[in-house]
Amino acid sequence: MAERDEPPQDGTDGTEPRDPAGGAGAPLDEEAAWAQIVAGYGEEPELPEGWPDAEGEHEAATNKGVPEVPREFVIRATPRPGPRDYELTDDEDEGHFVPPEPPPLPPADVTTKFAWIAVLGGPLLVLGFVLFQEPLTWWAMVLGIGGFLGGFTTLVARMKGREEDDDPHGGAVV
């Protein structure tokens, strides 16, 4: 088996030699290429013949070989109506669903009203003392915390319990 460090016997270095134009030829001297790039740093490169330059020859080069068509021969598609062009007429409005008026809420009894007042009013009383920087007295603390706890307990106790036999699933099944 031949060692990898030795060059092939035909006198080449084992790679296909290439010239800058991309064809086969003399091997590319990388040091000379880098020296040429560094020497030309900051200069504008010369464009080959036939390439458009920045002074407006670009438009002329892009239209070469394309005949100019007179405006009267240009065919334009007529726009078709789309979904944004739709207008509602009175005839189409007949099938619109209008939900019925919801039934009124059942009247709350006095106990439930006072329980809600205690649940919301107790913390608001304590918050009012704190916001106005008043000294929080014992009666304000008892009324605030006691009102909240008493009202919450009353509301929970008066909740209607669910009958487990009526709906065994209890709602949606995941």
DSSP assignment letter at 41? T
Amino acid code (one letter) for 40: G
The structure tokens listed for 137 are 């007295």
Predicted pLDDT of residue 44: 75
Of residues 3 and 120, more confidence is placed in: 120
Q: What is the pTM of this model?
A: 0.37
Using the predicted structure, report yes or no on whether residue 15 has a pLDDT greater than 90: no
Number of neighbours of residue 122 by Cβ within 10 angstroms: 23
Interatomic CA distance for residues 77 and 74, integer angstroms? 10
Of residues 63 and 89, more confidence is placed in: 89
Predicted pLDDT of residue 28: 77
The top-scoring range by mean pLDDT among 38-47, 75-84, 111-120 is 111-120
For the chain, the average pLDDT equals 75
Predicted pLDDT of residue 128: 96
